[in-house]
Amino acid sequence: MLSFPDRLADAVRKKGPLCVGIDPRWDALPTAIREVYADLPPADRAAAAVLDFGLRVLELVAPFAGVVKPQSAFFELLGPPGMRVLQELLIRANDLGFVTILDAKRGDIASTATAYADAAFAGAAIDNEVVPVWDADSLTVNPYLGEDAVEPFVTAARASGRGLFVLVRTSNAGAGLFQNLVCDGKPIYLHVGEAVARWNANTIGQCGLGAIGAVVGATHPRELVELRAALPNVWFLVPGYGAQGGTAADIRAAYRPDGLGAVVNSSRGVTFPFRPDDPAWEAKVTEAARKASAELRS
């Protein structure tokens, strides 16, 4: 089996750097899907509609993207039925050949961090059997509790052949409040980036990139240049493209000369380019994925 960074490289070589974010919102779902489940109790209705929509989106975007990123919050919001939907979508994404990123931004210490990591990757050890939970290829991690909070995730990722994406320079408007603070002559995000480089160093695959990646927003093109120069062997997960204002031109600095090095996330721009009552919603999703993929490949 290929290492995580090599599986990611293979997906990008085949289908380009587009990563499709799956962030289901009840009010934005197609009316035609919501109506199918109108007779179910509210929680079951929402979960069934989200599963129906999510499965169809995976099929529609499969020709244009090799990576998908479900955001756990939108499934947790639906309670236990929503969590089962998340599990089913991850299973189906794996069956379709996607590399999966579970976007949960975990960050804790000691046994709690280990439990989060096992849930994301290897599964729960019960007696002599391991029961899969999310079985994702990779997980987003918040490093701001310190190295002892990240190390259990790094250890679990290495042991199971999976990957991490550590928050370094995020795409939200308020990111600079802490990330831009200067310490020892450089901003905090560069200190975090240097730590990512250390964690990544002994995970390098045949593609020349490692399993411990960095989240670096498309809305900060100058920092993208800076961080790519500082982290030549690190995969970047780049949010902020599309609906948040980042452009394909803004992202060019994230790639290495060989075209690898970054996967670029688009959530609303690809999965919700339609009005809920639009009967042609599937065609709109397909076209949005095709257009995003072409822009990013160029």
Over residues 235-262, mean pLDDT: 88
Cα–Cα distance, 221 to 236 (Å, whole number): 13
Which are the catalytic amino acids?
A: 105
Cα–Cα distance, 60 to 93 (Å, whole number): 12
Domain span at residue 135 reads 4-297
Looking at the structure of the chain, the number of domains it has is: 1
Reported as a pLDDT band with limits 50, 70 and 90, residue 245 is: confident
Q: What does the mean pLDDT of the chain come to?
A: 95
pLDDT digits (tens, 9 = 90+) for 199-212: 999 999 999 999 99
**In this structure, are residues 228 and 240 in contact, taking their beta carbons and an 8 Å threshold?**
no
Annotate 62-97 with three-state secondary structure.
CCCCCEEEEEHHHHHCCHHHHHHHHHHHHHHHHHCC
Q: Is the pLDDT at 57 greater than 70, yes or no?
A: yes
Cα–Cα distance, 239 to 260 (Å, whole number): 16
Cα–Cα distance, 253 to 78 (Å, whole number): 38
**In this structure, are residues 268 and 242 in contact, taking their beta carbons and an 8 Å threshold?**
yes
- CATH number of the domain bearing residue 200: 3.20.20.70
Per-residue CA distances from 233 to 116, 255, 261 (Å):
26, 11, 8
Of the candidates 180, 168, 143, 291, which has an alpha carbon nearest to the alpha carbon of residue 236?
168
* pLDDT score recorded for residue 171: 83
What single-letter amino acid sits at 90?
A: L
**φ and ψ of 106, to 5 deg:** -70, 150
* pLDDT score recorded for residue 243: 66
Of the candidates 248, 238, 242, which has an alpha carbon nearest to the alpha carbon of residue 294?
248
SS3 (DSSP) at 182: strand
